[in-house]
Structure 1
Amino acid sequence: MDRKLNVVVIGAGAVGLGVGCGLATRGVGLHIIANREGQRRALLEEGISRSGLFGDLHAPPGSFDVSTSIDSLATERADVWLVCVKATESERLAQTLGAVWQKLDHSPAVVLCQNGWGNAETFSRFLPSDRVFNARVITGFERMGETHVRITAHADAIHIGSLYGAKTEELRGLSDAIQAGGVPCALSESIEKDLWAKVLYNGLLNPLGALVGVPYGALGERKETRAIMESIAEETFRVMHVAGYSSHWDSPSEYLDTFYEQLLPPTAEHQSSMLQDLHAGRPTEIDPLCGAICTLAEKHGIEAPLNRALHTLIRVAEQRH
């Protein structure tokens, strides 16, 4: 009989609860680490509910554990740490996990379900790089309460892979369990390209959607906003290529064809997490998105004026909310 997969989900936000709900219903040994005691009690009393695309699902109380302490990881033998916190928390969390790692007698895989570029580099400063993996998530999860998540959009399966050449086959059990839990998921040998595809997608939609206050689809309906998005795509491709990275498309025009025909339509009603963060008065993930593009551009001696302008405008919007 196969040994039960044990997963720790770090972060009880929309993605963590949405993926965790499916894992708990598939018999995975699941431990969720929440930020607040109130949410911990609610999850223990009510379980996790997921609705929206892919149907309704409920992980009942008792089908998973919940705590608020990262330190508990030092005495828990987990196969996977699934990091589902905002990229704004990467530095702090990476340092904390690095301290915990020193106390372990095993080496869990650390899978980062985060937006933007540069998260793996941050975590690899504190953890072995061959244990750090990325998950490209291009499904829209929205938290409706302490224990309820709704899936509002889905453009492609979750992809899991390594930027450091580590073998991904050990994560087959995780990928299969996420898939069995109702969210499409697959292993990827081209995760760098997958992540840059997500950077392009988020970079065209999230800052503009947040600043204008509209769902993704509305940005594609007006020629003015389409022109801005197309210019952002051209600038991002230029920086990406100068920095030595690549995606699944050779040119901005090829990407934009896919964007308008395949990626935008199924997510047209989705509101960006950046807009949700602004409304809630939370820091946005503009740094690992437009900020990362600006950093790469500066490093390689080129300009990225559109990404810099979006970064500045979102920073101003954060101060106003």
Structure 2
Amino acid sequence: MRILVMGAGAVGSAIGGYLSRNHEVLLVGRGAHMDAMADHGLAIDGILGSSQHTPLVCKEGALKDHPFLQKPLDWVLITVKSPATRIATEELIQAIPDPERPVWAHIQNGMGNLETIRETLTSGGITQLPIILSGMTITGYDIPDPGHVRITVYGGPGKIGWLETNDSQSNSVYPEAARSLVDILSETPLVFEYSDRMISFLWAKLLYNCCLNPLGALLKLPYGELRVEPALELMKEILDEAFALAALEKAPLFWASAQDYFDHLQQTLIPATAEHEPSMLADIQKGRATEIMAMNGFIVERSESHGLKAPVNSTIVQLIRSAHMKNG
């Protein structure tokens, strides 16, 4: 298979690096990390063992002229941070000769990414949209230094599926494509499963991120150290607002109430990812745009569209924005 991975951060580098063992893979990213991989390859270590990989690499902005695109692609995987989704998709449209041919999949945090990809493809003149799958992972990834990815925690298997759209509801191509991607990923040490309930899993990841990622960033603590009463009370209020929105949107959640999810978070998810450092903290410290608007910001904006307020999530958004402005 010929696979283009757009977004060679920690997640994209790990996925693309592992896949390069059996497939032709091009990683697209930026900065010293790309330079190091070009010179010495990619080292992956951590809880899944140590290995060395040699994917092809390309810096953002130079994709259009890369010789990898002289042959057709089979897969396009988008793994950029959510604020970069539109720009990444625009570069893909400009670079790939036949963007509707490969199967696309995005494996990202937050909500609204699929909509952004589809809107950008349409506005870019793509009349026949490709198959676009959705995925999520709750494995912890980090880049301790350029050319090196460390896998730190495992919170359960990732999921690959699709979100219902007007052209996918009764189309068997979507589940077939999702199962194909799971089969490809099963060649790696990473664990992904097929799901026909992708919206439920994306909401599950949203709840997890809204509770832990911004609070960990603001307090500069790994997730396991957030189990103190004031932070736990904030999590409950974040969840109350999220579940109120989910009820209005008829989101098919796995939990009947905010309290049910909170119990699951405390008893299962936080212990499994206790050592994980919030990605939002690294973004703030490095002056990068955070994913807050695809997380707590999504709760706020969607709630307001229903005439509902989400004051706790709104406060979290403003605090993260303030921290970003201070360091940006």
Q: Return the TM-score normalized by structure 2.
A: 0.89
8 Å contact 2:34–2:147 — kept in the other structure? no
Pair 254,81 (structure 1): closer, same or farther in 2 beyond 3 Å: same
**Structure 1 position 199 matched with structure 2 position 206:** yes
For residues 286 and 233 of structure 1, what CA distance do their matches in structure 2 show?
15
Alignment identity in percent? 31
For structure 2, the residue ranges without an aligned partner over 5 or more in a row are 122-127
Match of 2:158 in 1: 158
SS in 2 for 1:49: strand
**Structure 1 position 215 matched with structure 2 position 222:** yes
For residues 17 and 65 of structure 1, what CA distance do their matches in structure 2 show?
11
Pair 320,77 (structure 1): closer, same or farther in 2 beyond 3 Å: same
For structure 1, the residue ranges without an aligned partner over 5 or more in a row are none
Pair 98,241 (structure 1): closer, same or farther in 2 beyond 3 Å: farther
CA drift of 1:151 comes to 0.8
One-letter identity of the residue aligned with 1:70: L
Deviation digits for residues 199-227 of structure 1 (CA, Å, limit 9, x no counterpart): 0000000111111111101112x111111
SS in 2 for 1:97: helix
Deviation digits for residues 41-100 of structure 1 (CA, Å, limit 9, x no counterpart): 4213211111111111211x4xx3222233247534111111111111112222333344
Match of 2:124 in 1: none
Stretch of structure 1 that moved more, 139-148 or 120-129: 120-129
**Structure 1 position 227 matched with structure 2 position 233:** yes
Q: Return the TM-score normalized by structure 1.
A: 0.91
Stretch of structure 1 that moved more, 10-19 or 92-101: 92-101
**Structure 1 position 81 matched with structure 2 position 87:** no
CA drift of 1:278 comes to 1.1
Q: How does 1:92-103 map to 2 (within 5 A)?
A: 92-100=87-95, 103=97
SS in 1 for 2:160: strand
For residues 27 and 106 of structure 2, what CA distance do their matches in structure 1 show?
15
For residues 80 and 120 of structure 2, what CA distance do their matches in structure 1 show?
17
CA drift of 1:140 comes to 0.7
Deviation digits for residues 284-309 of structure 1 (CA, Å, limit 9, x no counterpart): 11111111111101111101101100
For residue 110 of structure 1, the aligned residue among 104, 111, 117 is: 104
Stretch of structure 1 that moved more, 249-258 or 288-297: 249-258
Q: How does 1:34-183 map to 2 (within 5 A)?
A: 34-36=29-31, 38-59=32-53, 61=54, 64-68=55-59, 69-71=62-64, 72=66, 75-100=70-95, 103-104=97-98, 107-127=101-121, 131-164=131-164, 165=168, 167-183=174-190
Q: CA-atom RMSD, angstroms?
A: 1.8
One-letter identity of the residue aligned with 1:13: G
Match of 2:274 in 1: 268
Q: How many residues align?
A: 310
For residues 109 and 258 of structure 1, what CA distance do their matches in structure 2 show?
34
One-letter identity of the residue aligned with 2:83: T
Deviation digits for residues 221-280 of structure 1 (CA, Å, limit 9, x no counterpart): x11111111111111111122123222112112212221111110100111100111111
Stretch of structure 1 that moved more, 303-312 or 92-101: 92-101
For residues 3 and 140 of structure 2, what CA distance do their matches in structure 1 show?
22
Pair 29,256 (structure 1): closer, same or farther in 2 beyond 3 Å: same
For residues 245 and 96 of structure 1, what CA distance do their matches in structure 2 show?
32
For residues 234 and 129 of structure 1, what CA distance do their matches in structure 2 show?
37
